[in-house]
A and B are shown apart, each in its own frame.
Chain A
Amino acid sequence: DAGVIQSPRHEVTEMGQEVTLRCKPISGHNSLFWYRQTMMRGLELLIYFNNNVPIDDSGMPEDRFSAKMPNASFSTLKIQPSEPRDSAVYFCASRYTLGTQYFGPGTRLLVL
Protein backbone atom coordinates (compact mmCIF):
# COMPACT_ATOMS: atom_id res chain seq x y z
CA ASP A 1 0.00 0.00 0.00
CA ALA A 2 1.21 3.52 -0.77
CA GLY A 3 0.22 4.82 2.62
CA VAL A 4 -1.67 8.04 3.20
CA ILE A 5 -1.17 10.38 0.27
CA GLN A 6 -1.33 14.14 0.62
CA SER A 7 -1.10 16.84 -1.98
CA PRO A 8 0.38 19.25 -2.51
CA ARG A 9 3.48 18.67 -0.39
CA HIS A 10 4.27 22.37 -0.34
CA GLU A 11 2.04 25.36 -0.93
CA VAL A 12 2.96 29.02 -0.94
CA THR A 13 0.12 31.47 -1.37
CA GLU A 14 -0.79 35.04 -0.67
CA MET A 15 -3.10 36.20 2.04
CA GLY A 16 -6.71 36.12 0.94
CA GLN A 17 -6.30 33.27 -1.51
CA GLU A 18 -8.17 29.99 -1.26
CA VAL A 19 -6.11 26.94 -0.35
CA THR A 20 -7.23 23.35 -0.84
CA LEU A 21 -5.35 20.47 0.70
CA ARG A 22 -6.06 16.92 -0.40
CA CYS A 23 -5.78 13.55 1.23
CA LYS A 24 -6.19 9.96 0.09
CA PRO A 25 -6.42 7.60 3.06
CA ILE A 26 -5.21 4.03 3.10
CA SER A 27 -7.66 1.75 1.36
CA GLY A 28 -9.97 0.02 3.84
CA HIS A 29 -9.51 2.57 6.59
CA ASN A 30 -12.75 4.02 7.89
CA SER A 31 -11.52 6.98 9.96
CA LEU A 32 -9.72 10.04 8.67
CA PHE A 33 -8.13 12.86 10.64
CA TRP A 34 -6.83 16.32 9.77
CA TYR A 35 -4.14 17.80 12.04
CA ARG A 36 -2.21 21.04 12.04
CA GLN A 37 1.29 21.33 13.48
CA THR A 38 3.06 24.53 14.47
CA MET A 39 5.97 25.26 16.77
CA MET A 40 3.77 27.33 19.05
CA ARG A 41 0.75 25.04 19.36
CA GLY A 42 2.17 21.63 18.58
CA LEU A 43 -0.04 19.04 16.90
CA GLU A 44 -3.73 19.96 16.92
CA LEU A 45 -6.63 17.83 15.73
CA LEU A 46 -8.80 19.91 13.42
CA ILE A 47 -11.50 17.45 12.42
CA TYR A 48 -12.09 13.75 12.07
CA PHE A 49 -14.41 11.63 10.00
CA ASN A 50 -15.78 8.19 10.64
CA ASN A 51 -17.23 6.35 7.64
CA ASN A 52 -17.09 9.65 5.70
CA VAL A 53 -19.18 11.49 8.32
CA PRO A 54 -17.65 14.36 10.31
CA ILE A 55 -17.70 13.33 13.95
CA ASP A 56 -15.90 16.17 15.68
CA ASP A 57 -14.91 19.49 14.11
CA SER A 58 -14.38 21.34 17.36
CA GLY A 59 -10.74 21.84 16.48
CA MET A 60 -11.46 23.76 13.30
CA PRO A 61 -10.16 27.26 14.07
CA GLU A 62 -12.93 29.28 12.44
CA ASP A 63 -15.37 29.46 9.58
CA ARG A 64 -12.58 30.02 7.12
CA PHE A 65 -11.75 26.34 7.47
CA SER A 66 -13.91 23.61 5.99
CA ALA A 67 -13.39 19.91 5.37
CA LYS A 68 -15.20 17.38 3.26
CA MET A 69 -15.05 13.67 2.68
CA PRO A 70 -17.23 12.88 -0.34
CA ASN A 71 -16.18 9.22 -0.38
CA ALA A 72 -14.02 6.74 1.48
CA SER A 73 -10.95 7.46 -0.61
CA PHE A 74 -10.75 11.24 -0.66
CA SER A 75 -10.90 14.22 1.66
CA THR A 76 -10.19 17.93 1.32
CA LEU A 77 -9.38 20.68 3.78
CA LYS A 78 -10.09 24.14 2.47
CA ILE A 79 -9.05 27.51 3.84
CA GLN A 80 -10.82 30.52 2.41
CA PRO A 81 -9.60 33.19 2.73
CA SER A 82 -6.14 32.21 3.94
CA GLU A 83 -4.20 34.29 6.46
CA PRO A 84 -0.50 34.31 7.45
CA ARG A 85 -1.35 32.71 10.80
CA ASP A 86 -2.59 29.65 8.91
CA SER A 87 1.00 28.86 7.96
CA ALA A 88 1.73 25.39 9.34
CA VAL A 89 2.21 21.78 8.37
CA TYR A 90 -1.11 20.05 7.82
CA PHE A 91 -1.24 16.30 8.29
CA CYS A 92 -3.85 13.81 7.25
CA ALA A 93 -4.06 10.45 9.02
CA SER A 94 -6.25 7.40 8.63
CA ARG A 95 -6.95 4.21 10.52
CA TYR A 96 -9.25 1.23 10.68
CA THR A 97 -11.60 1.29 13.73
CA LEU A 98 -9.43 1.98 16.82
CA GLY A 99 -6.21 0.67 15.34
CA THR A 100 -2.99 2.43 14.57
CA GLN A 101 -3.21 5.85 12.97
CA TYR A 102 -1.10 6.22 9.86
CA PHE A 103 0.03 9.71 8.97
CA GLY A 104 0.67 11.20 5.58
CA PRO A 105 3.84 13.16 4.82
CA GLY A 106 2.09 16.49 5.40
CA THR A 107 1.50 19.65 3.41
CA ARG A 108 3.74 22.56 4.34
CA LEU A 109 1.66 25.72 3.90
CA LEU A 110 3.09 29.21 3.84
CA VAL A 111 0.72 32.14 3.57
CA LEU A 112 2.47 35.39 2.76
Chain B
Amino acid sequence: SQQGEEDPQALSIQEGENATMNCSYKTSINNLQWYRQNSGRGLVHLILIRSNEREKHSGRLRVTLDTSKKSSSLLITASRAADTASYFCATAIRGGGTSYGKLTFGQGTILTVHP
Protein backbone atom coordinates (compact mmCIF):
# COMPACT_ATOMS: atom_id res chain seq x y z
CA SER B 1 0.00 0.00 0.00
CA GLN B 2 1.01 3.63 -0.27
CA GLN B 3 3.62 5.02 2.11
CA GLY B 4 1.41 8.05 2.58
CA GLU B 5 -2.33 7.66 2.86
CA GLU B 6 -4.64 10.62 3.14
CA ASP B 7 -7.88 10.79 5.01
CA PRO B 8 -10.58 11.65 4.12
CA GLN B 9 -10.61 10.83 0.42
CA ALA B 10 -13.01 13.71 -0.18
CA LEU B 11 -14.04 16.72 1.89
CA SER B 12 -16.79 19.20 1.13
CA ILE B 13 -17.14 22.39 3.18
CA GLN B 14 -18.53 25.92 3.01
CA GLU B 15 -16.39 28.96 2.44
CA GLY B 16 -15.05 30.30 5.71
CA GLU B 17 -14.90 26.92 7.41
CA ASN B 18 -11.65 25.17 8.29
CA ALA B 19 -10.52 22.08 6.39
CA THR B 20 -8.43 19.36 7.99
CA MET B 21 -6.75 16.58 6.05
CA ASN B 22 -4.73 13.78 7.56
CA CYS B 23 -1.87 11.68 6.30
CA SER B 24 -0.47 8.47 7.71
CA TYR B 25 2.73 6.75 6.70
CA LYS B 26 4.58 3.56 7.52
CA THR B 27 8.34 4.01 7.67
CA SER B 28 10.72 6.52 9.23
CA ILE B 29 10.90 9.74 7.29
CA ASN B 30 13.35 12.53 6.68
CA ASN B 31 10.57 15.00 5.95
CA LEU B 32 6.93 15.17 4.91
CA GLN B 33 5.58 17.54 2.31
CA TRP B 34 2.13 18.69 1.27
CA TYR B 35 1.23 19.49 -2.31
CA ARG B 36 -1.82 20.90 -3.98
CA GLN B 37 -3.13 20.05 -7.45
CA ASN B 38 -5.79 21.99 -9.25
CA SER B 39 -7.80 20.05 -11.79
CA GLY B 40 -5.78 19.43 -14.94
CA ARG B 41 -2.64 21.07 -13.57
CA GLY B 42 0.66 20.05 -12.04
CA LEU B 43 1.36 19.74 -8.35
CA VAL B 44 2.35 22.80 -6.38
CA HIS B 45 4.45 22.54 -3.24
CA LEU B 46 2.75 23.98 -0.16
CA ILE B 47 4.88 23.22 2.86
CA LEU B 48 7.64 20.93 4.10
CA ILE B 49 8.00 19.74 7.67
CA ARG B 50 11.12 17.95 8.84
CA SER B 51 11.09 14.91 11.09
CA ASN B 52 12.38 16.93 14.05
CA GLU B 53 9.64 19.55 13.72
CA ARG B 54 6.18 19.25 15.22
CA GLU B 55 4.31 22.16 13.70
CA LYS B 56 4.72 24.61 10.89
CA HIS B 57 2.69 27.53 9.59
CA SER B 58 2.46 29.23 6.24
CA GLY B 59 -0.28 31.82 5.80
CA ARG B 60 -3.59 30.04 6.30
CA LEU B 61 -1.89 26.64 6.36
CA ARG B 62 -0.90 24.79 9.49
CA VAL B 63 0.86 21.45 9.36
CA THR B 64 1.52 19.16 12.28
CA LEU B 65 3.70 16.07 12.42
CA ASP B 66 3.55 13.29 15.00
CA THR B 67 6.39 10.89 14.29
CA SER B 68 5.35 8.57 17.13
CA LYS B 69 2.01 8.02 15.40
CA LYS B 70 3.49 8.36 11.92
CA SER B 71 0.89 10.90 10.98
CA SER B 72 0.55 14.47 9.79
CA SER B 73 -2.32 16.87 9.36
CA LEU B 74 -2.89 19.85 7.11
CA LEU B 75 -5.26 22.52 8.33
CA ILE B 76 -6.53 25.22 6.01
CA THR B 77 -8.20 27.99 7.96
CA ALA B 78 -10.93 30.29 6.68
CA SER B 79 -11.23 28.34 3.44
CA ARG B 80 -12.05 29.99 0.14
CA ALA B 81 -13.62 28.64 -3.03
CA ALA B 82 -10.20 29.01 -4.64
CA ASP B 83 -8.83 26.38 -2.22
CA THR B 84 -10.83 23.75 -4.11
CA ALA B 85 -8.21 21.24 -5.26
CA SER B 86 -6.66 17.88 -4.47
CA TYR B 87 -4.15 17.82 -1.64
CA PHE B 88 -1.38 15.24 -1.42
CA CYS B 89 1.09 14.37 1.27
CA ALA B 90 4.47 13.05 0.23
CA THR B 91 7.11 11.44 2.38
CA ALA B 92 10.86 11.47 1.93
CA ILE B 93 12.03 8.24 3.49
CA ARG B 94 14.97 8.22 5.86
CA GLY B 95 17.75 6.01 4.58
CA GLY B 96 20.32 5.64 1.86
CA GLY B 97 20.58 3.81 -1.39
CA THR B 98 17.99 4.30 -4.06
CA SER B 99 15.39 5.40 -1.52
CA TYR B 100 17.36 8.52 -0.67
CA GLY B 101 15.58 11.60 -1.84
CA LYS B 102 12.56 9.81 -3.26
CA LEU B 103 9.14 11.21 -2.50
CA THR B 104 6.24 8.79 -2.17
CA PHE B 105 2.83 10.35 -2.67
CA GLY B 106 -0.48 9.37 -1.14
CA GLN B 107 -3.72 9.11 -3.09
CA GLY B 108 -4.81 12.59 -2.10
CA THR B 109 -7.81 14.31 -0.56
CA ILE B 110 -10.24 16.07 -2.88
CA LEU B 111 -11.32 19.30 -1.19
CA THR B 112 -14.37 21.18 -2.43
CA VAL B 113 -15.11 24.58 -0.93
CA HIS B 114 -18.58 25.87 -1.74
CA PRO B 115 -19.03 29.65 -2.02
Contacts and interface: CB of A to CB of B under 8 A. Distances in A.
Partners in one complex: yes
Nearest to B108: A42
Given A56-B98, A100-B48, A45 B42 contact: no
Contact of B41 (A50, A55, A101, A105): A105
Interface size class of B (residues with CB under 8 A): 20 to 34
Contact of A101 (B99, B103, B107): B103
Nearest to B107: A42
Interface of B is mostly: strand
B58 to A, nearest CB: 12
Contacts of B88: 43
A104 B105 contact: no
Interface string B1-37: 0100000000000000000000000000011010100
B92 A56 contact: no
Interface in A7-27: none
Category for how many chain A residues contact B: 20 to 34
B102 A91 contact: no
A100 B98 contact: no
Contact of A91 (B33, B42, B104): B42
A106 B43 CA distance: 9
A3 to B, nearest CB: 9
B44 interface: yes
Interface in B38-60: 41-45, 48
Interface of B: 2, 30-31, 33, 35, 41-45, 48, 88, 92, 98-99, 101-108
Nearest 6 CB-CB pairs, A to B?
Answer: A103-B42, A56-B98, A43-B105, A103-B43, A100-B45, A42-B107
